[in-house]
Chains A and B, each alone.
Chain A
């Protein structure tokens, strides 16, 4: 691993030139080059001036953003319950730090390159200071000068201290430490001015730092990232594969736990949980696991098929009984019966020696536990008091929707792409039609269709919340694109792989899950990350169909507040920055990931 994480940057350091020589070569080498320099410099300076004019224009009231930061991040979450949001954030940041460490992420910051970046940042800050419009507050103009001078001085000192040929690198832990330290310094020292709501009145105290209720949690969370990264690095060396698998498991199901943590009131009916939910889950998980383990012994294929068929008949009978109302039964019991029947029918495919059976039975147990827990969670009512419903909103909604859409549409996309590349004509035609129709229409029509038509399609008496309908539509839309991305990977798997799998006597399911898909998914990872970025950006469309996401809050909630009537530009510029930071980070890390994958493929 370590030689792969070593710098991908293979371009040799440019031969050392004086600054004058560099300027002549890169800016004024020929007439056309000089013209380009002049034209583009004019464009750059003009644009920068224009953007600064927009940011610091006289009628832009940035306190509209500062006051509403909490609204933008988590919408109407009750203040007294806010500790839950912090716990959730701490969990996510903890796992983020662990992941960074466990996979040994290290972009490899070269000391000289970092110093050069520092110097150019300083120059940029000074240029910005020169172009600031006259309406800018003095503090910001002063800060620009300070930042510029300090950055140039530090960068220059480092450049002098480190010899030109040196390829010394800053360790990632140190870089992370510096970043955490800088953010903490900003949170604790910079006087943003304090804004908030006390007893229904909005107050603003200029010139003080962030409130303690915010900066203390931020300090804890950021320190967690830092130390978790160190811990993850240690664990990644000692128990690498275990810790990495656990982290992946967390990222897949963890967010569901977090939603539970954030939405559910802890004071629900524990008696029902202990008397019914837990025993039922245990029975299905353990009984089913034992059954699968026993039937998976080699030579019991036909027995497994018979048992599976009987169980399937029993499960279907439960649904028929439910339809006619012969006897009561919990819906999740019916679902579990159906699932265990299907699992038993799959046994011959995954049967084999002990470790294979243990794995299959173990997967079943894990699946049952998560499923039952989720169903229980959904059935337990939330008793949080919300002042203005919908209380899911802001950045939380944006990120949450994007995450779950990707998570749910992934298996759908795999199925669709398999169907599209399969040799079975009806499946192929159905899947192709679906994919092409969905890809042919804009997302907004799909979202409208689901939010308006889904309630009409449902039988009377059944309802669906707006957000759920939109989520369903977005998933349906995303699955089509996902299918196309995965199809690209499937087509890159060579014919010989299929033939080799057939020659080994693998069944179609085994060939697909064990040979073809792992290779295909590996190839399509860069495209999938690209789609994740697109999904994240396009969650902004939820604002049009009625969700209170970042855009909706910045574009209509804040400008309608009596204190900030019509203040759209600061909010919109702020959320542009938020979107940019998240999407840019994702795309940069995806480029790095791509390079790593290519390095891994090279022989």
Chain B
């Protein structure tokens, strides 16, 4: 640096650099410039889309959600278009979401079971088991899941014709080229009261179980706490099954909350939200300043710190502007939908609710076809089966690899120590190796669960009515593409968040407790 000919531009110690050489100023200028450019591009694109849409006479918004759907859903729960429950667009989308979650949940369970079995047998001492598992994994994970799904559809299409007594148990289980039908269990009127009573009882059981556990730790020995707790829980289920009408008193309470919520004036909601926004900014700035405090007093704030604080303030002010000027409807929407939510809950507990939490039905056929609507069994169309088989086998091959990696990550000394303690191979696996392997397995496993949920969207290729397929039908009808895509995004982001929350909390529980 000493022979730098631009020595004149070397900054004097203690002085401030000129503004065009101040790193903090430059950094923030560039950031704001890029932010504004990105926002500008978005604004331009949305403006273009709006003009293009209004040129075609398509209104922008969500008002169409209450329109009648005018199309039939191939499968799903409560798809009947009856006078008391119209099949509106929003209801159709809801059915799609339920279908997605239904196949995702079932797929997750089965893929995990198969994956764990295959993953463990890849490490088996047995040659046939080892080879079979590795061929299974290599084959299934290298063929695209969509190709597998469509191949399954083609294979299932060559099954036997549909009659009332096709399948292993005539009248109860039907398996044919049109699909699979099983007896169905569904939620009946008493379900919500049943669940709420069960929750109340479970809290009590938790206290009892904890005291048992404490006693066991005090006195030692195996007092079968887990078994006894489970027994109590079974009793609680039976009790809530019989006594669920007790909880009917919740209905009026929820109705009252709903009325109270609906009575909040818009101005109050806006003020509350603004207070939250400004409060958050103030709290952040306070915490930030606290973090800069040293024992010797306040640290000198550099330009970068000032920019951060100003940015937090500006962000909260923008939030306030949106609440009062930019989108005043947001507050009243929150008031209304909050009130609706409590109202719906109130209805679920309302008077005249029956005593049965669940009910069941057998598959029925009429005119040689499955009855799609009304009182019938749980019909899994051939599309559902194809999607399900494709997803389960594809994902199980990845889960198998994850399980194998997790087990290999447990040091060999652990299973040797288990053997030295006299545990046999399966005990060592269950009590020593797998619990430790779970720590390694859990994060990538959560990723695979997320992948299954996202891959259900491939149902569109086989015509399974999941959210993307229903959404496509909707926007083909009314051209509300932008709104439908926003619904997709919110739904899938909610799924991702839920799964990662669950996985993270499990992870925290599994984490090694350090001294």
Contacts and interface: CB of A to CB of B under 8 A. Distances in A.
Interface of A: 26-27, 29, 33, 36-37, 40-41, 43-44, 54, 57, 59, 299, 301-302, 424-427, 430, 437, 439-445, 448-449, 452-453, 456-460, 505, 533, 537-538, 540-541, 543-544, 551, 555, 568-569, 572-573, 575-576, 579-580, 583-584, 587
Contact of B52 (A299, A425, A460, A541): A460
B454 A441 contact: yes
Contacts of B489: 437, 440-441, 445
A456 B49 contact: yes
A424 B24 CA distance: 10
Interface stretch (B27-35, B241-249, B275-283): B27-35
Contacts of B34: 426-427, 430
Contacts of B158: 57, 59, 569
Given A26-B126, A44-B128, A537-B144, A426 B32 contact: yes
B458 A54 contact: no
A442 B455 contact: yes
6 contacts: A425-B311, A448-B472, A453-B482, A457-B46, A457-B48, A580-B143
B505 interface: no
A183 to B, nearest CB: 21
B481 A425 contact: no
Interface in B308-330: 308, 311
B457 A424 contact: no
Nearest to B304: A423
A555 B38 CA distance: 41
A40 B129 contact: yes
B38 A430 contact: yes
Which of B146, B472, B488 has the largest count of A CB atoms less than 10 A from its CB? Answer: B146
Nearest to B42: A457
A302 B4 CA distance: 12
Interface in B46-102: 46, 48-49, 51-53, 55
B485 A449 contact: yes
Contacts of A543: 146, 461
A503 to B, nearest CB: 12
B139 interface: yes
- Interface majority SS (helix, strand, loop, mixed), chain B: helix
A442 B454 contact: yes
Contacts of A580: 139, 142-143
A572 B30 CA distance: 52
Given A441-B488, A445-B457, 15 more contacts: A26-B125, A29-B125, A426-B31, A437-B489, A441-B492, A441-B493, A444-B468, A445-B489, A452-B475, A456-B52, A460-B52, A537-B143, A569-B151, A576-B143, A580-B142
A445 B461 contact: no
Nearest to A588: B138
A569 B454 CA distance: 26
Which of A37, A40, A458, A533 has the largest count of B CB atoms less than 10 A from its CB? Answer: A40
Contacts of A569: 151, 154-155, 158
A579 B454 contact: no
Contact of B485 (A424, A440, A445): A445
Bin chain B's interface residue count.
Answer: 35 or more
A299 B5 contact: yes
Nearest to B496: A440
Interface in B119-143: 121, 124-129, 132, 138-139, 142-143
A33 B148 CA distance: 32
Contact of B492 (A36, A41, A440, A540): A440
Contacts of B150: 551, 555, 568, 572
Given A442-B457, A453-B49, A575 B129 contact: no
Contacts of B127: 26-27, 37
Contacts of B128: 27, 36-37, 40-41, 44
Contacts of A587: 142
Contacts of A460: 51-52, 55
Contacts of B30: 424
B389 interface: no
A424 B311 CA distance: 12
Nearest to B39: A430
B1 interface: yes
A538 B485 contact: no
A424 B27 contact: yes
Interface in B430-454: 454
B125 A44 contact: no
Given A37-B126, A37-B128, A444-B457, A576 B151 contact: yes
B272 interface: no
A42 to B, nearest CB: 10
Contacts of A425: 31, 308, 311
A540 B144 contact: yes
B147 A540 contact: yes
Contacts of A424: 27, 30-31
A106 to B, nearest CB: 23
B25 interface: no
Interface in B8-54: 9, 27, 30-32, 34-35, 38, 45-46, 48-49, 51-53
A445 B30 CA distance: 32
B405 to A, nearest CB: 13
A40 B132 contact: yes
A125 to B, nearest CB: 16
A425 B144 CA distance: 38
A541 B149 CA distance: 12
A426 B460 contact: no
Contact of A457 (B49, B455, B461, B485): B49
Which of B9, B144, B151, B461 has the largest count of A CB atoms less than 10 A from its CB? Answer: B144
Contacts of B291: none
B6 interface: yes
B124 to A, nearest CB: 6
A43 B128 CA distance: 10
A397 B155 CA distance: 27
Given A29-B125, A40-B128, A441-B493, A452 B481 contact: yes
A385 to B, nearest CB: 32
B54 to A, nearest CB: 11
Contacts of A544: 146, 458, 460-461
A4 to B, nearest CB: 24
A426 B52 contact: no
B46 to A, nearest CB: 8
Nearest to A426: B31
Nearest to B51: A460
Contacts of A26: 125-127
A535 to B, nearest CB: 11
